[in-house]
Amino acid sequence: MKIALFLISFLLLSCGTDQGSRDTYAYTLKNESGVTIKIIGYAGVETHTIILNNKQDYTQVYEDGKPPRGYHFRFLFGSSDGNREATSIKIVYNNLKFKVYSSDNLSDERNPLGPNHNNGGLEAIYTITQQDYENAEDCTGNCN
């Protein structure tokens, strides 16, 4: 009888609900703008800043939990551990120009917070280009 209770207990504990495997995501930012950039991600009252010299990359590797949540560039910009989601970002180009992207305005195809840059895959690359720099707004002395 004790053996039967042990086997039943063992099976119940070891046969929990299968919530899927853990996916590992690797999302990369590349700075090909020609200047140093500072990216400020806003996640509520929290901010996360990434500074990249020209030709520098930044990769965030995130291991998803159970149940899986998925991953997007919004998480890369939201926090260094990928657990907060940014609702907007500001890219400052060499303290001369800037561009703001928001999750409220996803019509801009260059918006890294939008669906154009989330291919649903485990790896993605977003490149900030010299054209992005040229299209950014002048700071007129105050990029902060």
Q: How many residues does the chain have?
A: 144
Question: Above 60 in pLDDT, residue 58?
Answer: yes
- With contact defined as beta carbons under 8 Å apart, do 39 and 90 qualify? yes
Q: What is the mean pLDDT of residues 59-81?
A: 90
The beta strand positions in 14-143, using DSSP E, are: 24-32, 37-43, 46-52, 57-63, 88-93, 97-102, 123-129, 137-138
CA 120/CA 132 separation, integer angstroms: 24
Question: Above 70 in pLDDT, residue 62?
Answer: yes
Put simply, whether the predicted model's pTM sits higher than 0.85 gets the answer no
| Res 71: pLDDT | 87
CA 114/CA 56 separation, integer angstroms: 23
Q: What is the mean pLDDT of residues 18-24?
A: 71
| Res 121: pLDDT | 81
CA 104/CA 143 separation, integer angstroms: 22
For 90-118, how does the pLDDT look when each residue is reduced to its tens digit (9 = 90+)? Answer: 999 999 999 999 998 888 889 999 877 66
